[in-house]
């Protein structure tokens, strides 16, 4: 596999903000409970006319602008999402058309909260194989469309957003892709799912009345799995690549719950300075958390060219993934 690098990044969040006090008016909850149990203060919510492809296009445009290239140079577009505009056509097709990426193929990648990590791994291999020169990986989710705002156990957790990273060939010795470790464990599928709308339970009056088109989860089961597996996958990748935890400049974890992130960091022996946390501003944006947190680390000067960065996530499925990159921008 040839050396590959992340050569640009772009992000987008819809302007409307939903605070914890706004949620206090919708369900029986409190700012204190949400902050203490999750670390979230507010999240961004897309207006009704905005769909996932709209968020994805904005993030994609920002990444192309940073790199200073035209969309026609792209070879492939991967859209990581659990909230596609439609079952089909894929959101990748919509984004390809809207960006004017006339030479790109692409597809949607569904791995819930791990999908951006899986997308980076896939993009790295498309470019690493020598068959693609520019692959745009976009993580975009409009979680507000599948969240039940009468269910206090889930509605406080999620937000909407998008982020994109461009993957290109790197010269030998240039910073780039170091390694990956991805897994799925389908035995955990029942713990976090959207029960209806697919071929198992197609839409009907009953599924709508029973509110089965919304996210349902066993929060404690997901929490325990995430704490254990996010540490194991990250530690496994560090061991596999012969990387001491002290060499990691930043761990940029999926932002689901502040307590999951802190427990993972503690178990890995990372100091607070080595961990990027921005969950307070965005909540869990599913496929978008990692690029959003990466952009924040760049903007506040914490992530610089040559730094070793560990991306790590656990999501519905269950899906579990980690990537190690030497930052190249």
Catalytic residues: 113, 254, 284
Helix, coil or strand: residue 286 = helix
Span of 71-79, 84-92, 136-144, 153-161 interacting with ligand ACO by CB under 6 A: 153-161
Decide if residue 162 touches ligand ACO (CB under 6 A): no
Which residues, numbered 96-115, are part of the site for ligand ACO (CB under 6 A)? Answer: 113
Q: Which of 153, 207, 274, 278 binds ligand ACO (CB under 6 A)?
A: 153
Which residues, numbered 236-265, are part of the site for ligand ACO (CB under 6 A)? Answer: 254, 256-257
Phi and psi angles of residue 37, each rounded to the nearest 5 degrees, phi first: -85, -20
Which residues, numbered 27-66, are part of the site for ligand ACO (CB under 6 A)? Answer: 29, 33-34, 37-38
d(CA 248, CA 212): 42
CB of 260 to ligand ACO, least distance (A): 6
**Which CB atom, from 153 or from 274, has the smaller least distance to ligand ACO?**
153
Decide if residue 319 touches ligand ACO (CB under 6 A): no
Span of 42-50, 149-157, 243-251, 302-310 interacting with ligand ACO by CB under 6 A: 149-157
**HSE-up of residue 174 (Cα within 13 Å, Cβ side):** 14
Output the CA torsion sign for 221, 143, 278, 229: positive
CB of 185 to ligand ACO, least distance (A): 13
Q: What is the largest CA-CA distance in the chain?
A: 59
Decide if residue 219 touches ligand ACO (CB under 6 A): yes
Span of 133-141, 201-209, 218-226, 302-310 interacting with ligand ACO by CB under 6 A: 218-226
Q: Which of 78, 226, 251, 276 binds ligand ACO (CB under 6 A)?
A: 226
Interacting residues of 200 by C-beta distance below 8 A, sequence separation 6+: none
HEC-encoded secondary structure of 52-83: HHHHHHHHHHHHHHHHCCCHHHCCEEEEECCC
Decide if residue 18 touches ligand ACO (CB under 6 A): no
* Helix axis angle, 258-268 to 31-38, nearest 10°: 20
Q: Which of 32, 68, 220, 273 binds ligand ACO (CB under 6 A)?
A: 220
Decide if residue 327 touches ligand ACO (CB under 6 A): no
Output the CA torsion sign for 158, 162, 165, 166: positive
d(CA 223, CA 259): 9
* Token representation of residue 165: 């990273």
d(CA 263, CA 240): 22
| Binding residues vs ligand ACO (CB under 6 A) | 29, 33-34, 37-38, 113, 152-153, 156-157, 192, 217, 219-220, 222-223, 226, 254, 256-257, 284, 314-316
């Amino acid at each position: 596999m040839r050396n590959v690098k992340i050569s640009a990044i772009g992000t987008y969040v819809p302007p409307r903000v939903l605070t914890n006090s706004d949620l206090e008016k919708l369900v029986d909850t409190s700012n204190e409970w949400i902050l203490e149990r999750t670390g979230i203060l507010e999240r961004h919510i897309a207006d009704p006319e905005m769909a996932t492809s709209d968020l994805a296009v904005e993030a994609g445009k920002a990444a192309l602008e940073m790199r200073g290239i035209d969309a026609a140079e792209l070879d492939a577009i991967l859209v990581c999402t659990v909230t596609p505009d439609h079952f089909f056509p894929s959101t990748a097709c919509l984004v390809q058309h809207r960006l004017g990426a006339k030479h790109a193929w692409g597809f949607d990648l569904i791995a819930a909260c791990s999908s951006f990590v899986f997308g980076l791994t896939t993009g790295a291999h498309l470019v690493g194989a020598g068959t693609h020169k520019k692959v745009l990986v976009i993580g975009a989710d409009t979680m507000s469309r599948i969240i039940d705002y009468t269910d206090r156990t889930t509605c406080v957790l999620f937000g909407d957003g998008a982020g994109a990273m461009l993957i290109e060939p790197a010269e030998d010795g240039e910073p780039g892709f170091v390694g990956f470790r991805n897994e799925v464990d389908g035995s955990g599928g029942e713990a976090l799912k959207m029960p209806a709308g697919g071929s198992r339970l197609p839409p009907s009056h009953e599924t709508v009345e029973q509110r089965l088109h919304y996210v349902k989860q066993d929060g404690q089961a997901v929490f325990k799995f995430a704490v254990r597996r996010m540490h194991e996958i990250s530690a496994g990748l560090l061991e596999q690549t012969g990387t001491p935890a002290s060499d990691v400049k930043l761990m940029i974890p999926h932002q689901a719950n502040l307590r999951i992130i802190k427990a993972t960091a503690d178990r890995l022996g990372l100091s607070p300075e080595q961990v990027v946390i921005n969950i307070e501003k965005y909540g869990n944006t599913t496929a978008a958390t990692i690029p959003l947190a990466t952009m924040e680390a760049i903007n506040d000067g914490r992530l610089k060219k040559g730094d070793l960065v560990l991306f790590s996530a656990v999501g519905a499925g269950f899906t579990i993934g980690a990537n190690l990159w030497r930052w190249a921008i």
